[in-house]
Amino acid sequence: MRYLGIDYGQKRIGLALSDPEGRMAFPRATVQTLGEVAAVLQAAGARRIVVGLPLDARGRFGPPAKAVLRFVADLREKVQLPIALENELLTSALARRHTRREKADASAAALILQSYLDRKNAKIK
């Protein structure tokens, strides 16, 4: 099953896709609107969505996490697919350190999605 990973930001939204088996995540695109997210989702045929949730180091919700929850609520109105939340602590910083700026958001989405897939696949074994 193919997954779409999302790193939501107020200016840009990073997207990543899994392979068809749901084992590996790959950066896909950086978009700016919910409509663009829905278009990539439909074109890719993803069946589940994983959105990064920016909790602080103590696991608490701050303003960025609340913005993500509002985005997820809007996304649920637009698409009828299961949406999971994955802690994204430090993924954006790690992605920026290892990729060029224009690809950092999609790379962060891939890190978020890969974290989710690794946990999910470990439970299956």
What distance in Å separates the CA atoms of residue 78 and residue 108, rounded to the nearest whole number?
Answer: 23
77 pLDDT higher than 60: yes
Matching residue, tokens 């950066």? 27
Q: Pick the more confident residue, 81 or 122.
A: 81
Residues 8-18 have pLDDT tens digits of 999 999 999 99
Owning domain of residue 99? 3-123
Q: How far is CA 125 from the centre of its chain?
A: 24
Beta bridge partners of 17: 4, 26
Q: What pLDDT shows up at residue 20?
A: 96
Q: What is the pTM of this model?
A: 0.90
Q: What is the CATH number of the domain that holds 44?
A: 3.30.420.140
**Cα dihedral 109, 114, 115, 117 in deg (nearest 10):** 130
What tens digit of pLDDT does each residue of 32-53 get?
Answer: 999 999 999 999 999 999 999 9
Domain count for the chain = 1
